[in-house]
Amino acid sequence: MSGMIGRLFNVVIDCPDPSALARFYGELLGMPVVTERDDWVVISDGRYRIAFQPAPELREPRWPDPERPQQMHLDVMVDDIDTAEARAVALGAKRLPGEGPDFRVFEDPAGHPFCLVFEI
């Protein structure tokens, strides 16, 4: 590989309500909203950025159904899995089937899967 062509700027998530999902992930990750328009909302901690754009007809994934694959997901590193799970659920996350020795699977309010990951 010869040199970088570019660098990652945003991870973009399609969803029915960009503002609501940005608030969910903003609370989950401690990242404030830095841009908010009708068609584009961005949260950032100054280092990482996640953008949300409208997809009113989104056919959300269904974990672990291969007919409706996850498409992409975020892994969120946490210090205490039980505390993190309680806080994520209070924000609107839903626990999904499937877990491993170092992760648990959840669904955000728009139906996208994400994992809380912890060191064992």
pLDDT-based confidence at 27, cuts 50/70/90? very high
The pLDDT mean for the chain works out to 92
Q: Is the pLDDT of residue 55 over 80?
A: yes
Q: What is the DSSP code (8-state) at residue 113?
A: E
Q: How far apart are CA 120 and CA 104, in angstroms?
A: 13
Query: CATH number for the domain including 39?
Result: 3.10.180.10
Tokens of 69: 């694959």
The whole-model pTM stands at 0.83
Q: Is residue 1 a part of any domain in this protein? A: no
| Those residues with Cβ within 8 angstroms of residue 50's Cβ, 6 or more apart along the chain or in another chain | 10, 11, 12, 13, 22, 25, 29, 31, 42, 43, 44, 74
Q: Is residue 19 a part of any domain in this protein? A: yes
Residues 64 and 54 in one domain: no
